[in-house]
Structure 1
Amino acid sequence: MRRFLLTAVVMLSVAQSAAAMERGSVTNLPIPRYVSVKTEECNVRRGPSLTHRIDWVFQRKGMPVEVTAEHGHWRRVSDRDGAGGWVHYSLLSGARTVIVDQDMLALHLGPDPETPVNARLELGVIARLGECLTNWCRLSAGGYRGWAPKSALWGVNADEIRD
Structure 2
Amino acid sequence: MFKKVPILIFFFLIFFVSFEDLYSKDEYFLTLRNEKVNLRQGPSFDYPVKILYKKKFLPVLIQDSSDNFRKIRDHENNSGWVHISQLSKKKAAIVIEEELILFGKSTIFSNPVALLKQGRLVKINKCKIEWCKVKTGKYKGWVSKNGLWGLL
Q: TM-score, normalised by structure 1?
A: 0.76
Matched, 1:35 2:30: yes
1:142 aligns with 2:137: yes
* Residue pair 2:68, 2:83 contacting (<8 A) in 1 also: yes
Distance 1:94 1:64 in 2: 10
How far 1:112 moved relative to its partner? 0.6
- Structure 1, unmatched stretches of 5+, are 1-17, 25-30, 158-163
2:45 to 28, 35, 50: 50
The equivalences for 1:91-110 within 5 A come to: 91-110=86-105
What is the number of residues matched between the two proteins? 133
TM-score, structure 2 as length reference:
0.81
Aligned-partner residue type, residue 135 of structure 2: S
Indicate which of 118, 142, 152 corresponds to 1:123: 118
State the secondary structure of the residue aligned to 1:134: coil
- Structure of higher CA gyration radius: 2
What CA distance in whole angstroms lies between the structure 1 residues aligned with 2:92 and 2:36? 17
Cα drift, residue 145 of structure 1: 0.8
Whole-angstrom CA distance in 2 between matches of 1:103 and 1:145:
19
Structure 2 unaligned regions, length at least 5: 1-18
**Where does residue 4 of structure 2 map in the other structure?**
none
**What's the RMSD between the two structures over aligned residues?**
1.7
Secondary structure at 1:90 match in 2: helix
- The residue type paired with residue 22 of structure 1 is Y
- Per-residue CA shift, 1:18-64, capped at 9, x if unaligned? 79x6258xxxxxx3111111111111111111111111111111111
Percentage identity across aligned positions?
Answer: 27
Pick from 93, 96, 113: which aligns with 2:108?
113
2:68 maps to a residue whose letter is: H
Query: Take 2:51 and 2:82, find their aligned partners in 1: how far apart are those partners?
Result: 11
SS in 2 for 1:22: helix
Runs (4+) off by over 6 Å: none
Partner amino acid, structure 2, of 1:105: L
Distance 1:45 1:84 in 2: 9
Per residue, is there more strand in 1 or in 2? Answer: 2
Aligned-pair CA distance for 1:104 = 3.3
